[in-house]
Structure 1
Amino acid sequence: MNEHNEKNHEINNQNEVSTYYYDPSNRVESLRAFYEEELNAAAAEQAAVAEDGGSGQGGRGNRRGDNPKGFSPKSIFASFLVGAMVVGGMSVMSDRLNLFTGGASAAAESAAAGSAYSDAAGITTASVSASSNVDEKISTVFDQANPAVVEIENYGVESQSSANGLFGGRGGGWTDPRGQSMQSQQSGEPELMGTGTGFFFNEDGYILTNEHVIADATELKVTVPGYDEPLAAKVVNANADLDLAVIKVESPDGKKFPALTIGDSDQASIGDWVIAIGNPYGLDHTMTVGVLSAKERPITIAEEDGTEHQYKHLLQTDASINPGNSGGPLLNDKGEVIGVNTAVNAEAQGIGFAIPASVIHDALTDLMAGTTVTSL
């Protein structure tokens, strides 16, 4: 009966599974003590097996090809498990204690070098840092560029031609993001016809926008960040073919205005991050982010009278551009203007267009001809 119980106990012990969890407080001494304890137990079991079967001819301890030197299968398997566990534990501990890798310093050096470093949780430090850097860079661009972006209100007497708008032709599906009011005007008094966006490109108060934003206006009012009341603006020059215009406001306090730098759209690549700032549907200073989808896009605008207006070399972006964004800047991740937002497809999503900086540079020379400015 006792022999039967002992066999059951031995079977149960063999079926037991021990689970070990890594504890950062474990050190070499505790692992070594555990290792020695398991080895002593295995040695005792080996001695017992040798004593039990060493004198008999059929004893397992004397079968050379089966189990040399009297080791039982259990003792060999136990020794193997102990060795594997200890070696694995030592490897994990050395990694956690940074005995060979240098830990955080290795991660910092690897990230600084632009390579990927994975910690024990599998998080790639370099990738996380890169993502954070992109978000931070975009936020910085908005903070720096936003004070130079203005809202333009167009007051005038609405006519049929102005109601249609430059991009108002229904045949081609293209529309201008101006956000015009379609209210009828029975009186001859100027009323708000629409709103658009512009930006200072010169600290003396010169603003670049679309020609269709200021078209047919009898009065222009510009809302500038930092000023409680809108400022009156006058038209310096305009080019309907290019859909560009320059207007100017005077500083009430004599201070210079913040100005944006016009960059080089030729250096922009498909897939580059781009940022649009404007006043869509009257929601002032709205930022949208996307990528540069294509370059050198030509589009044709079909007017209500049957005429067509063709635009070439436009930048295409999936950054959201809506009515009211017209004339606003399309910025790269350095905060440079690479385009002026000008048209969207009313029947599509994520398809907007901007006049490239390569066209703007040449146009400004003509638009500012005869005008005395500090710098361009």
Structure 2
Amino acid sequence: MNERNLTDTQTTNDGREPMTVYQSPLMASYEKEMAGYRPQPSPGDVGPSKRRNGTSFAAYLTSFLVGAMLVGGFGYAADRGNLFGGQAPAAEASGSASEAAAGITAASVKAKGDIATVFETASPAVVKIENYAVPTYSMRSPFGGRGGGQQRQASEPVLAGSGTGFFFSTDGYILTNEHVIADADELKVTVEGYDEPLTAKLVGSNYELDLAVLKVESPDGQAFPALELGNVDQTSIGDWVIAIGNPYGLDHTMTLGVLSAKGREITIADEQGDHTYRNLLQTDASINSGNSGGPLLNERGEVVGMNTAVNSEAQGIGFAIPSSTIKEALNELMNVKPAVS
């Protein structure tokens, strides 16, 4: 009840108008019981009244209970806020009984450990992709005039860009963005556990969907770690998501956020004009240059999206291609139905 809706009207002994006092529920109860204990002299009455003698114990008891409730409330707040140090109360791990009755689910303190486990399991399947291209130089004709330009290529490819990818099958197939591998003359893939980058070949790509599949061979014949493509339809707005990638060359960087929205449409200007992406996931997990092609994971470590773009003029607005779009495109990208592990 609102404090302003609880009133107590007191009448003075000198004939003045009644005075209305606003009280809290606890204070109102306290004052009501103590009213009989307060001295109220009347004509011909020089000693304590019978009512005061009969209710003094109840008044003291009420006063004690009010004080106990106040102290107890402070103690509860101190425990919940861990005001005096020590370990966090166990109630925070599973939620208090009152929270459960109200339908409130408290965040588990084990979430940090679970996320760490997801990263530890998924990280080896995330790779760094380097795009090497032979640069082309334009030269003017020594004789001048129009149309006298010449094209001269360097002899060796140079690093043109880098991004992220991930194994989706144990036999060396990698998913990434098409814009990560576009115009490459050579593709190098850095895989955790190998001293040297592996040379990858392009299996298939789709510019409109911004998807590509690469293939590398295992130098030692061992199977590669792989991530499972999850069901994005089972994710909800507000679910935790984890991004792993190589932003600005910082390999295997993990960032954490939530799924902010589904079904987003954005348009990005590239060398071929305006490129429109449809049905994207939106997340506030940090995504930067170099994260493109990396996995967006749910709490079970399943791929629900591929990190693709970020709004550089904002904070916490990144976009990912949903796993449903990836699954639909895989048959076309590989020409055969892959065995997704």
The letter of the residue matching 2:239 is D
Q: Which runs of 4+ in 1 moved over 4 A?
A: 58-61, 68-71, 79-92, 112-115, 373-376
Tell me, what secondary structure is at the counterpart of 1:116? helix
- Alignment-derived partner of residue 290 in structure 1: 257
- Alignment-derived partner of residue 356 in structure 1: 322
- Alignment-derived partner of residue 279 in structure 1: 246
Tell me, what secondary structure is at the counterpart of 1:269? coil
Would you say 1:327 and 2:300 are equivalent positions?
no
- Alignment-derived partner of residue 224 in structure 2: 257
**Contact residue 60 and residue 70 of structure 1 kept, 8 A:** no
The letter of the residue matching 1:202 is S
Would you say 1:314 and 2:280 are equivalent positions?
yes
Tell me, what secondary structure is at the counterpart of 1:202? coil
Would you say 1:234 and 2:216 are equivalent positions?
no
**Contact residue 133 and residue 186 of structure 2 kept, 8 A:** yes
The letter of the residue matching 1:134 is A
CA distance in 1, matches of 2:251, 2:318: 19
**Identity level (%):** 61
Give the Å deviation of 1:309.
2.1
1:339 to 305, 315, 332: 305
For residues 267 and 228 of structure 1, do their structure 2 counterparts lie closer, same or farther at Cα, with a shift above 3 Å needed? same
CA distance in 2, matches of 1:272, 1:297: 17
- Alignment-derived partner of residue 207 in structure 1: 174
- Alignment-derived partner of residue 67 in structure 1: 49
> Aligned-residue CA RMSD in angstroms?
3.6
Tell me, what secondary structure is at the counterpart of 1:334? coil
For residues 89 and 260 of structure 1, do their structure 2 counterparts lie closer, same or farther at Cα, with a shift above 3 Å needed? same
The letter of the residue matching 2:118 is V
Give the Å deviation of 1:85.
7.3
Give the Å deviation of 1:304.
4.7
**Contact residue 168 and residue 340 of structure 2 kept, 8 A:** no
CA distance in 2, matches of 1:89, 1:316: 51
For residues 251 and 348 of structure 1, do their structure 2 counterparts lie closer, same or farther at Cα, with a shift above 3 Å needed? same
Would you say 1:141 and 2:110 are equivalent positions?
no
The letter of the residue matching 2:210 is D
CA distance in 2, matches of 1:257, 1:70: 86
Give the Å deviation of 1:303.
3.4
CA distance in 1, matches of 2:186, 2:51: 106
1:116 to 82, 99, 121: 99
CA distance in 1, matches of 2:330, 2:282: 22
For residues 230 and 115 of structure 1, do their structure 2 counterparts lie closer, same or farther at Cα, with a shift above 3 Å needed? farther
If asked which structure has higher relative contact order (CA below 8 Å, sep 6+), I would say 1
For residues 190 and 115 of structure 1, do their structure 2 counterparts lie closer, same or farther at Cα, with a shift above 3 Å needed? farther
CA distance in 1, matches of 2:340, 2:163: 25
**Contact residue 94 and residue 108 of structure 2 kept, 8 A:** no
CA distance in 1, matches of 2:136, 2:49: 105
CA distance in 2, matches of 1:225, 1:344: 26
Unaligned runs of 5+ in 2: 1-43, 73-89, 138-151
**Contact residue 204 and residue 374 of structure 1 kept, 8 A:** no
CA distance in 2, matches of 1:285, 1:192: 20
Aligned length in residues: 266
Give the Å deviation of 1:189.
1.1
Tell me, what secondary structure is at the counterpart of 1:255? coil
- Alignment-derived partner of residue 131 in structure 2: 154
Unaligned runs of 5+ in 1: 1-57, 95-106, 118-125, 161-184
For residues 268 and 321 of structure 1, do their structure 2 counterparts lie closer, same or farther at Cα, with a shift above 3 Å needed? same
TM-score, reference length from structure 2: 0.67
Give the Å deviation of 1:259.
0.8
**Contact residue 209 and residue 326 of structure 1 kept, 8 A:** yes
Alignment of 1:14-29 (within 5 A): none
The letter of the residue matching 2:282 is Q
CA distance in 1, matches of 2:65, 2:98: 30
Give the Å deviation of 1:149.
0.5
Give the Å deviation of 1:317.
1.3
Deviations 1:322-359 (A, max 9, x none): 00001000111221111111112222222211111111
CA distance in 2, matches of 1:70, 1:115: 39
For residues 359 and 138 of structure 1, do their structure 2 counterparts lie closer, same or farther at Cα, with a shift above 3 Å needed? same
CA distance in 1, matches of 2:168, 2:45: 99
Tell me, what secondary structure is at the counterpart of 2:315? coil
Tell me, what secondary structure is at the counterpart of 2:279? strand
1:268 to 206, 210, 235: 235
TM-score, reference length from structure 1: 0.61
Deviations 1:105-154 (A, max 9, x none): xx77x94897638xxxxxxxx976x2413323322221221111111111
**Contact residue 95 and residue 105 of structure 2 kept, 8 A:** no
Tell me, what secondary structure is at the counterpart of 2:166? strand
